[in-house]
Amino acid sequence: MDLEEAFRIESVIKIVGKNSNKEVEESAENFNEEKEDEPNITEGYPVGIDKLTYLEADNEIDDIIQRTDLDLLTNADDDDESEEDIGKSSLQPLKKRRRMMEVPYPTGHAFNKSFTSVNFTLEEEFRIIDYLVRIQKYQNGRFDFLFFSFPHYDDLTVRFITCTMNGNKIPFNASVEQRLFQLGLEFTKRDTKHIFQELNILSSGVRGEVLNFTYPALLVVFFSILEGNTKESTWLAQHAKTLQITKENHDRLKEKINPLVGVRSISIKDQERFTSPWAKEWGDEQKFEKILSQLGRILRDDKKLQAIYHMLVMMTPSPSSSERTRRDPLLLSIQKDLQLLLYRYLCFQDETKTNSGTNKELAVSLMGLSEDMTGQSPSTVASTLIDLVDQVHDCADIMQHRSLNL
């Protein structure tokens, strides 16, 4: 560094330090008292030095230091390099200030549940509770409609418990099941638009086709939830964990079921309907049981999750439905909204869940088919549930059209 450059550095230092220590301290105190939301045009510059002068001085210092560092580097690498070449190589783009070279905030924290918890809103919580209430209202209405429309419906229902108590298979009658199915679908298509706003905003044609496909799919969901709760010691405790069976349903049958409260939980394998061979293809039987086991393990005793999934299945028609219905804009919007709610709830539940019990599975249960599904992340569970919707529709088709018993 020659004498001229040293003189320039000394001049700049004198300019920057020309204020007394007292003035600097006063300016620092004034600066600390300023409000954050009030801009300060002298912020970052010494008092008494205008912004342009300071930047010019700062640039001179940076440029001198940069050329000095470059001199040392080039001299160490090549002592024979000409002074002209060094001058040319020192022409570099304006570099960033040293004060700007901080470590950036890791923005991934904002999207990582390990650092940012899921803020499940009160509105979302209320929405799920509203679904619970409406689904129970729908189930009570459907049960009462069948109770008064189908002769001896109460005896038919209680027979599930008495046969299990006696160690017998629950008998199956195809014509009775078909009649009950038609009555249940009739009530569903007639009344659900008054219960669920999501159905009411759809056109009558889309709503009718949606329910034709989703009503049998919801029966599969019901069977899976019952299967998932076969770990309960009694059928009464099993029903208590199931959204689709309500206290009002039990009240209608109180006189007949009170003596049977100690009977064990009931699996679909206790029914003749699902005693192998019951499907036309062995692969269909295996698929049906696997899907029920997987879905039952996820939904199990979480009634809020059962409610969200009930809504999602009810609003998602089968892939074999018409393209016009599947692509209905309102229907697609409802599905996407429910999928997002499903994922957000699973994230929230993952942060707050506790062990719900360690009861052993019923020996005859299907739940051994899904033992590998424990410890999954919320995103994996949400993806699994969404993917299972189409599989649930296929299971409904196996029951309705690909069964030997029919």
The strand pairing partners of 271, in sequence order, are 170
For residue 85, give the 3-state DSSP assignment.
Answer: helix
- pLDDT at res. 365: 72
Q: Which pLDDT value is given to residue 42? A: 45
- φ, ψ (nearest 5 deg) of residue 403: -115, 140
The answer to which of 9-13, 315-319, 359-363 has the lowest mean pLDDT is 9-13
Q: Looking at the predicted structure, is the pLDDT value of residue 116 above 50?
A: no
Is residue 297 a contact partner of residue 228, using CB atoms and an 8 Å limit? Answer: yes
258 exposed, middle or buried (CB, 10 Å; 0-12, 13-18, 19+)? Answer: exposed
Q: What confidence score (pLDDT) does residue 100 get?
A: 47
What is the share, in percent, of the chain residues with pLDDT greater than 70? 67
What's the length of the chain? 406
Contacts of 359-363 with CB under 8 Å at 24 or more apart are 359/231, 359/232, 359/233, 360/231, 361/230, 361/231, 362/230, 362/231, 362/264, 362/265, 362/267
User: What backbone phi and psi angles, to 5 degrees, belong to 279?
Assistant: -105, 160
- pLDDT of 84 > 60? The answer is no
Whole-angstrom distance, CA of residue 355 vs CA of residue 363: 22
Under the banding of pLDDT at 50, 70 and 90, the label for residue 86 is very low
Long-range contact pairs involving 9-13 (C-beta distance under 8 Å, separation at least 24): 9/61, 9/64, 12/57, 12/60, 12/61
Q: Which tokens in the block code for residue 242?
A: 């199931």
Assign 164 a pLDDT band (cuts: 50, 70, 90).
very high
Give mean pLDDT, residues 253-258.
93
What's the CATH architecture for 123-401? Answer: Orthogonal Bundle (1.10)
- Kindly tell me if the per-residue pLDDT of 248 is higher than 60: yes
Residue 49 DSSP label: -
pTM of the model: 0.70
- Is the per-residue pLDDT at 112 higher than 90? no
Measure CA 343 to chain center.
Answer: 1
Domain residue ranges of the chain, discontinuous segments joined by +: 3-102, 123-401
Rounded to whole angstroms, the Cα distance separating 65 from 128 reads 65
Report the pLDDT averaged over residues 10-39: 52
Report how far residue 190's alpha carbon sits from residue 360's, in angstroms, rounded to the nearest whole number: 41
